[in-house]
Amino acid sequence: MVADAVHERLLGELAAAFAPEATLYAVGGYVRDKLLGIECYDIDVCSKLTVEQVKKLISTTDFEVFDRNMRLGTVHIMKQGVTFEYTAFRTDSYRRAKGSHSPVEVEFTDDMLKDAKRRDFSCNAIYLDVAAGRIVDIVGGVKDIEDKTLRTADIPEDVFEADGLRILRLVRFAAELGFEPEARTLEVAKQNSWRVKDIAVERIRDELSKIFVADTRHPELGLKDAHLKGFRLLDELGLVDMLLPELAGLKGLSQPSRWHKFDAYEHSVKTYQAAPPNIRWAALLHDIGKAPAVKADGNMHAHDVYGAKMADDVARRLKFSTAERTRLVSLVQCHMADVGGRMSEAKLRRFIVRHADIVDDLCELMDADSHAAMELPPERNRMREQLTDMRAAGVPLRLSELKVNGADLIDMNIEERLRGELLWQLLEETAMNPVLNDREKALNFVAALARRASEEQ
C-alpha cells in the first residue's frame, strides 16, 4: 500500500478519533520514508491505549477493528479499504538462546521510550504525532537518517540477541535505503549471525528474495546496485556460507582463463549483478553444480545437470512454491543450451517451443552469464535471435497457440493416449515449418501422424 492523499486524510481522522483519550502516533517505515522523501508503505500506528480500549473508542466511529495478534497488542483498523496496523506501546522479552522472531513475554506500557527500545533500528523508532504533525525522536533516528546510518534502537547485543530476523532486516534496509551499518551494530550482527538459523525458513526465503531485488524497492533513490550491496553484506556477515552453502562451495574454484575472468563464485555474483530482478535466484545458483562436477568428473562439463539437482534441493529447503521451484530448476538446467552456437536451427527451434515458458528468462540469464564471464558486452545470443524471428513469423510457441486443439482430435476419433503427443509433434513441426500454422494443413498433418501411429501398432 502506497500512502497518498486518501491515506493521509484517513490517518488524520483516526487521530481525531483517539483524542482526547490518547495521542495517536505513526511509527516505523512510514515515518522513516516520509523523512527520506520516498514512497511510504504500510502505515503502522501506536499509542498508550490497549487494544481493548481502542476497540471501545473506535466502536463509535466509521472505522472497523479486526483482531491481528491480541497477544502482541496488535489489531487492524480499516476504513474505505485502507488498513492501519495498530500496536499498543509495549516491551518484549525473548528467549535469548534462540533467534526466535516471537517474544515469549509481552508487557504493555505507557512509556514511549520502552516501546522505542524494543524496535530494531533507530530509523524505524521515530514517532509522528499525527494530529500535531510533530516528530518525536527519542533514540536519535532522525540524525541517523540524515547520516544514512543503520544503528540499533537499543544496545545492539539486546536487539540482535532478541530476534535473529533483525540481522537479515539490517541487510535489507542497508540495501534498499543505501544506508551503512554503524560499526558496533555491524560487529554485533556478525557475532549473532548464527541466530538466523533459528528463523522459520519461509522468513529467511522472503528476506533473501527482498534483498535480491533491493534495487527495485525505491527507484527514486537511484540505487543501481542495491541488490549487489545487499549480497556483499550477507557474505560479510557469513550468511551466504550458512544459508546457501551450495553457492559458497564455489569460493576459490578456478575456471579456465580463456573464458573466465573470475573464479566460479565471483562469476556467479557478477551474473547475479547483471541479471534482471526476476531471475536473480537463478543467476546466483546457475553454476552451483561446478564444484561437485569437478570433484566427480575432473571437469565442469556436466555442471548444469549437477546444478539442477542442487537448485531443486535449495528450493525445497527454502520452501519455494512448486511453480517457483520448477522455473528455477529449469533455468539452471538449461543455461548451457546452445553454448558455443552448436545447435542446428531445427533443434534450436524445437528447444524453444519445448521451453517456451522460460525461454525469455533463459535468454536474459544467458546474457548475464556471458557478460559476467569477462565483464564484456554479452556475446551473440542465437536463441534470442531465433525466438525473435519465430515471433515475427507468427510461429506458435505453445500448444494453446496452435490452430487445432484437443477437441479437434476428439472429433477426429484419435485415441486419448495419442492426443497430447500428437499435438506436441505438431507444435515442434510447425516451429520448423511455419506453413503448418494453418488449420486445414494442421488437421491433415495430425491425421497423417495418427494413421502412422495406428499402422505401427
Of the candidates 54, 189, 59, 44, the residue with the CA atom closest to the CA atom of residue 126: 44
Residue with the three cell numbers 534482471:
276
* pLDDT value at residue 453: 85
* pLDDT value at residue 92: 78
Read off the pLDDT of each residue in 174-197 and give the average, rounded to a whole number.
97
Residue pLDDT, tens place only, 50-69: 999 999 999 999 999 999 98
Three-state DSSP class for residue 90: strand
- Give yes or no for residue 174 having a pLDDT over 90: yes
Burial class (CB in 10 A: 0-12, 13-18, 19+), 69: middle
Read off the pLDDT of each residue in 175-183 and give the average, rounded to a whole number.
98
- Residues in Cβ contact with 378 at an 8 Å cutoff, skipping those fewer than 6 apart: 366, 367, 368, 370, 371
Rg (CA), the chain: 28
CB 291 within 8 A of CB 250: yes
Backbone phi and psi for residue 129, each to the nearest 5 degrees, phi listed first: -65, 105
The pLDDT-based confidence of 104 (bands split at 50, 70, 90) is: low
Q: How many CB atoms lie within 10 A of CB 321?
A: 9
Grid cell for residue 100: 526466535
Residue pLDDT, tens place only, 313-358: 999 999 999 999 999 999 999 999 998 888 999 999 999 999 999 9
* pLDDT value at residue 103: 66
Dist CA 352 CA 24 (whole Å): 58
The pLDDT-based confidence of 94 (bands split at 50, 70, 90) is: low
Chain-centre distance for alpha carbon 456: 50
Spell out the CATH class of 155-243.
Answer: mainly alpha
Dist CA 269 CA 249 (whole Å): 13
- Give yes or no for residue 97 having a pLDDT over 60: no
Of the candidates 361, 325, 233, 291, the residue with the CA atom closest to the CA atom of residue 369: 361
Helix or strand (DSSP H, E) at 137: strand 134-137
Chain-centre distance for alpha carbon 45: 27
Read off the pLDDT of each residue in 156-176 and give the average, rounded to a whole number.
96
Read off the pLDDT of each residue in 353-369 and give the average, rounded to a whole number.
97
Q: In what order do the strands lie in the sheet with 64-69?
A: 64-69, 74-79, 82-88, 44-47, 25-27, 126-129, 134-137
- Give yes or no for residue 164 having a pLDDT over 80: yes
Dist CA 5 CA 93 (whole Å): 38
Of the candidates 28, 29, 363, the residue with the CA atom closest to the CA atom of residue 217: 29
Residue pLDDT, tens place only, 7-53: 999 999 999 999 999 999 999 999 999 999 998 878 999 999 999 99
Q: Global pTM?
A: 0.92
Grid cell for residue 448: 497423417
Helix or strand (DSSP H, E) at 33: helix 29-36
Torsion sign over Cα 364, 366, 372, 378:
negative
Length of the chain: 457
Dist CA 27 CA 112 (whole Å): 11
Three-state DSSP class for residue 30: helix
Residue pLDDT, tens place only, 188-245: 999 999 999 999 999 999 999 999 999 999 999 999 999 999 999 999 999 999 999 9
* pLDDT value at residue 32: 97
The pLDDT-based confidence of 375 (bands split at 50, 70, 90) is: confident
- Give yes or no for residue 99 having a pLDDT over 60: no
Dist CA 60 CA 428 (whole Å): 66
Residue with the three cell numbers 527454502:
318
Read off the pLDDT of each residue in 249-261 and give the average, rounded to a whole number.
94
Alpha helices in 244-354 (DSSP H): 245-248, 264-274, 280-285, 290-297, 303-317, 322-334, 345-354
Q: How many CB atoms lie within 10 A of CB 195?
A: 22
Read off the pLDDT of each residue in 409-436 and give the average, rounded to a whole number.
94
* pLDDT value at residue 1: 47
Strands 149-150 and 180-181: parallel
Strands 44-47 and 64-69: unpaired
Of the candidates 294, 299, 212, 197, the residue with the CA atom closest to the CA atom of residue 249: 294
| CATH number for region 1-146 | 3.30.460.10
Dist CA 304 CA 339 (whole Å): 12
Dist CA 159 CA 118 (whole Å): 8
Grid cell for residue 119: 524496535
Grid cell for residue 221: 533513490
Read off the pLDDT of each residue in 146-166 and give the average, rounded to a whole number.
96
Measured N-to-C along each axis, helices 382-392 and 345-354 cross at an angle, to the nearest 10 degrees, of 80
Read off the pLDDT of each residue in 264-285 and give the average, rounded to a whole number.
98
* pLDDT value at residue 69: 87
* pLDDT value at residue 55: 95
